[in-house]
Structure formats: C-alpha cells, structure tokens
Structure 1
Amino acid sequence: MTAYPMDLGLFVDGEWLGAAGRDTVPVLDPATGETLGDLPLATRADLDRALAAADRGFREWRATAPEARAAVLSRAAALIRERIDALAAIATTEQGKIIAEAKGEAMAAAAMLDFQAGEAMRIYGRVLQRAPGTRSLVLHQPIGPVAAFCAWNFPILNVVRKLSPALAAGCSIILKPSEETPGSAVAILRILAEAGLPGNVAQIVFGVPDEVSRHLLASPVTRKLSFTGSVPVGKHLARLAADTMMRTTMELGGHGPVLVFDDCDLDRTLDMLVTHKFRNAGQVCVAPTRFYVQEAIYSRFTEGFAERTRRLRLGSGFGADVQMGPLANPRRSAAIAELVEDARAAGGRVLAGGDRSAGDGFFFAPTLIADVPSSARAMNEEPFGPLALTQSFATVEDAIANANRLPFGLAAYCFTENARRQNLLADAIEAGMVAFNGTRLTWPDAPFGGMKDSGFGSEDGPEGVAAHLVTKSVHIS
C-alpha cells in the first residue's frame, strides 16, 4: 500500500489537530528527497492544553485497574501485528530503512507492548512485619505525567519504547517524536486510541525541539523526563530537568567497540558483523563501529569485511534485493563524508565505499576504513552512519583499554570462544550492554541503557516500568 500521503497532526486531549492556524514543516522521503507532506507544529496554547489534559489523564489512568491497563496494551500489540505491512511501509517511506527491517521493528514493538502489559500486573510492594496489630508497607506508585522525546532512527520502536512502560505503570505521557519521521508515531497513537486508551492519557506533539522541551519541562505538571537522542541534547535536557528535581531516563549516544579474538569463528563473525553494522544504514545507537581485531587474524578480518561490504546492494528500502537504504536526512550523508575524509587524511585505508552515491536521495556507500588512528575524529565522535573502523591489538589488556577509551558506554560486542576471557571481559568492559558471539541486545524482558556519557536509567524489561514508579513507605500503628 502507499504509505503517504497520510493525515499528519497533533493528538491533544483526545483530538487530532491539523495545520490550520499552525506553522508547518515538510516531511521528506530520504530515498528521493521529495516532500511527502506537511507536519503541523504545536503552539504554546497546544502545549498548555496537552499539559492540562495529561494532568487529568494521570488521575484517571492511575485509578484504572492494572488488568484494564494491560488489556489496552495487549489490544494495541494485536493491532500492530494485524497492520504490520502498513506500519512498515510508513517507516520505510519516511525514514529509509529497508522494508524487512521495518517489519522487524514493528514486530519488536508489538512484543514490547505485550511484555509491558504483563508488567502492569506485576507491580508489587512489600509488607514488613512489626509488633502485632501494626504493619509497615512498601508501595510502588506511578510517578505522574511523563514528557518523552525520541529519535527518528526507529520511528515505530522508539515510540512504543516510551509509551509502553509509562502506560503500564499508570502514568500519562506527552510524546514528542522526531519531526522527520512523524507518520509512524501518528499511526501508533491511532492504534492505541482504537485499543481503548483514553485521549488524555497519551498525547503527541511536534514542534521546535528546544521550545517544546523547555515548555514541558518547566511545567509543574511534568514529573518525569524520558529522552532518546544525542549526548549534547541529553545533557541540556538533564540540566532543565534538574530545576524541578525531575526523575529522568536518558538513552544517549554510543560508539560501540567490537573485540574480535583469534579463537572466534571468523566467517560466522564476519557475516554477523557486516549485517549488523549496516543495519538501518548504521544509524543505530548500539551499532558496532570500532572494530578491534587481534593481530593474528587482522588481515583476514579486514579482507573478509571489505569483500562482504562491497557486495551490499544499496537502494530504496522498498527494493526487493536491497540490503541498505538511504540515510535519513542530508545532514547524515554530509557528516559521514567529513569523517571519511578526516580518517583518510589521518592515514586510514579505505577498503570499501567511502563516498556518496550518485542520484537523488541521501545515500552513502557502506564504508570500511582500516588502520584508523585513535586521533581521527571518527574514532572519537559517534559516526551514526554506515562507517566501520578497524585497528589491530595484541593483548586482552590492549583490547579492554581500547574498548573503554571513550566516554561512551552504551553497547559493546566480543567474539571469543574462551569462557574465562568472556567472564573477564564481561566484568571489565564499561558498557550497559555487552553481547558475546552475537549481536542482539534488544529483548522485551531485558533492560536497555548505558553508562558514562551514554546516559543512565533503563528502558525495557521490568526496569522500564520501575523507572516510572516512586517508592513510598507506609507505617500503620
């Protein structure tokens, strides 16, 4: 089906609001550069109305029985599965990822809703024994209205990742997705409304990011901030949130190190890593980026990685044989080009790709650069694109030092069959998530989050709901 044109708008207090009386921004197709539609931006009055509705919605939703909250989330999961083709088409059209990845993203979102529906029924407290006739209780209660901001790279999953734990916990939420990928968020909100969610419980606004964030975070209505995005913006929002001692969950950038030891299954490792590196054109916060490879297999690794990279087919995400789509916007292709030139000037060897693709759209060839010195910009700044960088190492200590060198601490990957080494690396690597001999880090029942500059707090799993709860002790005499 055709994903666009579609009705783009704000969802405030149960009402869809269009462009009348509001500024708009164009939404672009990254595969062609053409305009898909115009997105209305919230006015200050719209934001005030959303805050007032979220305040009322929180009082209503927290008083809703957990099984009723769970039923809404479960119905939404079922509707996503029924409409997976339509949802995936929207995401591919506005974000650029290949259609198979968009379908996988939608299925992951449905699984997350199902899991958090169960968590709505598992918010437990404790009874502490005291003298006969007295009790102490420990209660976990919803924190209140949430202001949530999410990035464009996973326009379905990021939206559900913000909504599902907040709603399971009993919170209301005002969501500001990216203005570059609004259609997926609009579609998810329509599904939740159809599943029975009251209109004042979850709302969606778009606007100038700094203006929206300042307005929502300055309000006494807002009790929690949840943000997915870059480190500089995350630090800025955290400073705003500190003025009201607001609870925060920050999922920020990464620069994923990959440690490849000479006892790994090299061909299997290469097959996994090349596929995972260029998933979503490398626009993934947990993407493997810095590949540190033990000296004995370094040449074989770089040759095999380059060969597989050159074979990747680039094109529109709807192409039947396409393996990597365009970058999401022109900023990314320009940024990657600068990083490639800097790495080349620093002495790196471009073994595959290295340039923008000709024609319309925001395409950049999947790129491998070997022997990149640690001083190169790409080894210190998150590339967030189809750029893989390699260095060799001699000892386990060298590998750990390389992995922990940067202030990022989101995701890391290790490939070794040595169990003792796996235990050592699991303890030593400074990252919120570490994968051994595999690349999957996202599971509905596992926490997702980082450390150091990559943020704090966890999404997904029981930890995702816990981040939306406050603890209260009650002593009864």
Structure 2
Amino acid sequence: MQNYKTPFLWIDGERLGPDHRATMPVVNPSTGEALAKLPLADAEDLDRAVAAAQRGFHIWRATSAYDRAKILRRAAELLRERSDEIAVQMTLEQGKPLHEAKGEIAGTPDFLDWDADEGRRIYGRLIPSRVPHQRQMVMKTPIGPVATFTPWNYPFMIPVRKISSVLAAGCSCIIKPAEETPNSTLAIAEAFEDAGLPKGVLQVVFGVPAQVSQHLLTHAGIKGFAFTGSTAIGAELASLAARQVKRSVMELGGHAPILIFDDADIEDVAQLTYARKFRNGGQGCISPSRFYVQARSYDRFCDRVAELVGSIKVGDGFAPDTQMGPLAHERRVPWIEALIADAVSKGARLLCGGKRVGEIGHFITPAVLADVPDDARVMHEEPFGPLIALNSFTDTDDAIAKANATEFGLSAYCFTRDNATAIRVADEIEAGMIGINSFAVGAPTSIASPETPFGGMKASGYGSEGGIEGLEPYLDTKFVSQF
C-alpha cells in the first residue's frame, strides 16, 4: 500500500492545512478513490501570498546571482535524492506508470542547473556614445513577483521549469499547480526550503482556478505571469493580463502533425510512434497526433502501427507490466470516445483501441484511426489523449497545407532521408518546435530540454521557456545615460 502525503498550501514558508478553508478531494485516477483533502486558498490567503512574494522579491533580487545559483543547484540535488518518493506521489495522483514518473523526474532537475548558470550570465552592455564623457549603459533587472499556472499532465517537470526560470531571473514566484496533482509540486517547494531559499520567494497555492487567476492577475503586486494549459483558458488569462499590462508567457494547446515520406524507414517510424505517442496516455501538448503518410507507405504504416498499439498493456501505474496508465480525469474517457465516434461516422476506420477497460478507474485502450476525413473533429480539436489519426498524401504541397490547417502551432515532426525535403518542411511548417527524423528535439527522449527553447506560435502561445530565451520574459531592460 502506497502512502499519499497530506497536501497543503505553502505561503511565506508556512504550511497551511484545511482548517477553516474549503477543500476538494485529490482522486486516484486508477481507482476513483479520494487520496486526501486539498485545502483551497481564499482571498485572504492569496493576498498573504502576494505580500510574501513582494517581501521575498526584495530579498531575492538583492541576493547575488552567484548565491542564487547555489540555492538552485542544491534544490536540484535534493530533488534527485528524493526522486523515488516523489515518483510514488505522482503515480498516485496522476496515474502514469511508475517508470514514467521516474523518467519525468530524472532529467527535470537539469533545468535548475542550467538556469542557475543562466542567472549568472544576465549581462548588460555599454553602448559607445556619440558625445564625449557620456556613459551609456543597458541593464537587465528582474520584473518582480510572478504568478505561474501549471497543468496536471507533467506535474513535476512543468512546475520546475517555470519556477527555475523565474527564480534564476531574480524574481519571486507564486505557483498555482493543478489541484489534481498537488504533491508533485509541493515536493519542489520542500526541496527549495531545505536548500535555503528565503521565505516568501516561492509560494504554492491551490484553489478554484478562475478565482485564483482573477485575483492574482488583477493584483498590483504581481508583475508578470506564465501559463501552460488550454488555448481557450490561456486566451482569457492573456486578455486579463493585457488589461493590467503584465508580462506573460503562454504555452497553450497543440495538435502536432507528422509528415512521413516514402524514403523514411517505415518500421523505425512505427516503432517510434508506438514508444512516444502513448507515453503519459498521450496527454501531452507536443504529442504527435495527425499523421500524414506518403501513399506508397501508407497501408504498411497503418498495419504496423495498429499491430504495435494494439499490444499496449493498460493498467494501474504501479503494476510492473503496465505500459499505459489511466487518463487523469474521468471526463477524458468520454472525450476520446466522442472523437472516435465522430470520425467513424464520417468515414474513418478504427484500426484498434478506443474501448473502456474495467469498471473502476479512467482506463481506455489506445486507439488508431485511419482514413480520417478533414472535417472530422479529431483533425481540428486537440485530442490530448491516446488517439492518433492517419491519412495518406501524394503531393508535398498538400501535406504541408494540411499540416498547417489548424489554429495550433506548437510542435511538428517530419521523417525523410532527403535533406531538401527536410529543409523545406522545417521552413514551411508553422510550429515553434520541429523534429526531423525523431520525436525528440534537444534531448534523447523529449522535445523539452533545459538548453533549448520550448514554445509555440499561432494559437499555441508566445514566449519560450528553456535555452537562453527562458529568462528574458522575467527581465526588464533599463537604459542609463550618465555624464
């Protein structure tokens, strides 16, 4: 029996429980049973969090970049040491197989190490003057307290990535993680506390999402925000922040196209699809979704992918033979079923999967659709689950046009041995991140790595996290002219 820790609010270095606060259950998606009661912040708690973040900001910005880096590195070490216990908490509250939870945690502290160094390299510059005896200087200064909002699909990696960039830039942070997965983020706060982070520099709050975002984004004490989530919610938050003239980074939905040309190794691509698409139950914004396969290879690819996907073992995340766990929410199962039913009603073929598993938990078998018409919902609405849509193409122009025919522009992928084709696809596909001959960009198994920018275009958002771009949203540029 795995033990689930009691979650809490973390404000100004103090753990706040459910007494005199509204609560909501944290549910195990494998069993449907409540794991714990999560305390929800009220307006007073949020005001206290902002006040603490303002005090923490003045302490943190006055701390040298060298000393800030030491704390980030120490937090990274502690998270690595605690990875096994954090993974158990993640599997309990999010459902993903234990080996996937451990995999998510394994490389994530690298973000802290990277940003620790980037924070030491926040350089200004001198600009030669047109007149004698004038010094023209450009300085980079932290913007102030930043509010961040993170989802439940990668409940450790995404919070670490946001907190890391904000703190490395010299800002304080209030993070509202997903209420479904509180302990994955609280483990990060505890590591920072033990690493010596001053009180008030980091707060963790939970609550009714609309109320928390409204309160924080309209508060004069918050100077910027970062959000990862759906395009619809992101657009509302961006509008709210714009009215307050707050800096923002938006990482929104995706519906990644994959172009597979006849000269690609079809068996290799099928194996990569099997290994990558259904990780985390397909619940990822950069997960490959819309496959366009050149006509000569189409049938072979469809048959092989269906064979591989049909063999995936679905079950509880703690079972040693589980390859895909439950979906994180009960509502995700009928969503996938509805997308499949709509596509089939319009002429698509269901090659495998799409069936509920058992009567307890949020389980569904991974599904493969073929010959999906352009007007099917799944071709335009992000599935965010274990479902892929396959279609053939003959003309490259048509394939690229269809790849670009959604509002999304987060990630895209292409498989070809022809360098000219690869260059053309990279130039013409409308996406912030493009993988050529791999579903990984910048890291062996993931498109997200500390040294590379992660972000999209179009309705998939703006701004980047990671790489040298990651700290920029949290810095003001100040020009000083001195005689």
TM-score, L = length of structure 2: 0.97
> What per-residue deviation string (whole Å, max 9, x for no partner) do you get for residues 302-352 of structure 1?
000000001111111112121111000101111111111111111110001
2:469: which partner in 1?
A: 463
Alpha-carbon distance in 2 for matches of 1:453, 1:439: 21
Alpha-carbon distance in 1 for matches of 2:98, 2:272: 19
1:326: which partner in 2?
A: 326
Contact 1:54 1:174 in 2 (8 A): yes
Alpha-carbon distance in 2 for matches of 1:429, 1:132: 50
2:302: which partner in 1?
A: 302
Alpha-carbon distance in 1 for matches of 2:185, 2:458: 29
Contact 1:14 1:200 in 2 (8 A): yes
Alpha-carbon distance in 2 for matches of 1:103, 1:141: 36
AA at the equivalent of 2:478:
K
AA at the equivalent of 1:194:
D
Q: CA deviation at 1:107?
A: 1.7
> What per-residue deviation string (whole Å, max 9, x for no partner) do you get for residues 143-195 of structure 1?
11101000000010111011000000000011000000011111111111111
Q: CA deviation at 1:410?
A: 0.2
Alpha-carbon distance in 1 for matches of 2:438, 2:478: 40
Report the secondary structure of 2:388's partner residue: strand
Alpha-carbon distance in 2 for matches of 1:150, 1:107: 19
2:232: which partner in 1?
A: 232
1:288: which partner in 2?
A: 288
Q: Which moved more, 1:40-49 or 1:108-117?
A: 108-117
Alpha-carbon distance in 2 for matches of 1:108, 1:359: 35
AA at the equivalent of 2:482:
I
Alpha-carbon distance in 2 for matches of 1:285, 1:321: 26
Is 1:14 aligned to residue 13 of structure 2?
A: yes
1:79: which partner in 2?
A: 78
Alpha-carbon distance in 2 for matches of 1:215, 1:390: 43
1:153: which partner in 2?
A: 153
1:118: which partner in 2?
A: 117
Report the secondary structure of 1:140's partner residue: strand
1:57: which partner in 2?
A: 56
Report the secondary structure of 1:87's partner residue: helix
Contact 1:3 1:86 in 2 (8 A): no
Is 1:473 aligned to residue 472 of structure 2?
A: no
Alpha-carbon distance in 1 for matches of 2:3, 2:298: 44
2:400: which partner in 1?
A: 400
Q: CA deviation at 1:132?
A: 4.2
Alpha-carbon distance in 2 for matches of 1:467, 1:460: 11
Alpha-carbon distance in 1 for matches of 2:76, 2:262: 43
2:454: which partner in 1?
A: 448
Contact 1:24 1:40 in 2 (8 A): yes
1:429: which partner in 2?
A: 429
Alpha-carbon distance in 2 for matches of 1:231, 1:108: 27
Report the secondary structure of 2:291's partner residue: strand
The runs of at least 4 aligned residues of structure 1 exceeding 4 Å deviation read: none
Alpha-carbon distance in 2 for matches of 1:93, 1:3: 9
Alpha-carbon distance in 1 for matches of 2:208, 2:55: 25
Q: CA deviation at 1:2?
A: 2.7
> What per-residue deviation string (whole Å, max 9, x for no partner) do you get for residues 228-273 of structure 1?
0000000000111011111110000000000000000111111111
Aligned residues: 476
Alpha-carbon distance in 2 for matches of 1:453, 1:214: 22
Report the secondary structure of 1:206's partner residue: coil
Alpha-carbon distance in 2 for matches of 1:356, 1:136: 66
> What per-residue deviation string (whole Å, max 9, x for no partner) do you get for residues 426-449 of structure 1?
110000000011111111100000
> What per-residue deviation string (whole Å, max 9, x for no partner) do you get for residues 54-98 of structure 1?
111111101100011111110111111111111111111110111
TM-score, L = length of structure 1: 0.99
How do residues 52-451 of structure 1 correspond to structure 2 at under 5 angstroms?
52-130=51-129, 131-440=131-440, 441-451=447-457
Alpha-carbon distance in 1 for matches of 2:115, 2:96: 26
> What per-residue deviation string (whole Å, max 9, x for no partner) do you get for residues 365-396 of structure 1?
00001001010111110010000101101111
Alpha-carbon distance in 2 for matches of 1:320, 1:192: 32
Alpha-carbon distance in 2 for matches of 1:411, 1:364: 25
Q: CA deviation at 1:103?
A: 1.1
Alpha-carbon distance in 1 for matches of 2:32, 2:147: 31
Alpha-carbon distance in 1 for matches of 2:306, 2:2: 36
Alpha-carbon distance in 1 for matches of 2:84, 2:268: 31
Alpha-carbon distance in 2 for matches of 1:80, 1:200: 20
Q: Which moved more, 1:91-100 or 1:404-413?
A: 91-100
2:443: which partner in 1?
A: none
> What per-residue deviation string (whole Å, max 9, x for no partner) do you get for residues 107-165 of structure 1?
22211111111111110111112244321111111111101000000010111011000
Considering only aligned residues, what root-mean-square deviation do their CA atoms show, in Å? Answer: 0.9
AA at the equivalent of 2:158:
N
Alpha-carbon distance in 2 for matches of 1:125, 1:99: 45
AA at the equivalent of 1:418:
D
Alpha-carbon distance in 1 for matches of 2:322, 2:330: 20
Report the secondary structure of 1:26's partner residue: strand
Alpha-carbon distance in 2 for matches of 1:213, 1:93: 27
Q: CA deviation at 1:7?
A: 2.2
AA at the equivalent of 1:114:
D
Alpha-carbon distance in 2 for matches of 1:88, 1:133: 60
Q: CA deviation at 1:359?
A: 2.7
Report the secondary structure of 2:63's partner residue: coil
| Structure 1 unaligned residues grouped into runs of 5+ | none
Contact 1:30 1:361 in 2 (8 A): yes
| Structure 2 unaligned residues grouped into runs of 5+ | 441-446
Q: Which moved more, 1:103-112 or 1:231-240?
A: 103-112
Alpha-carbon distance in 2 for matches of 1:149, 1:14: 19
AA at the equivalent of 2:477:
T
Alpha-carbon distance in 1 for matches of 2:93, 2:249: 27
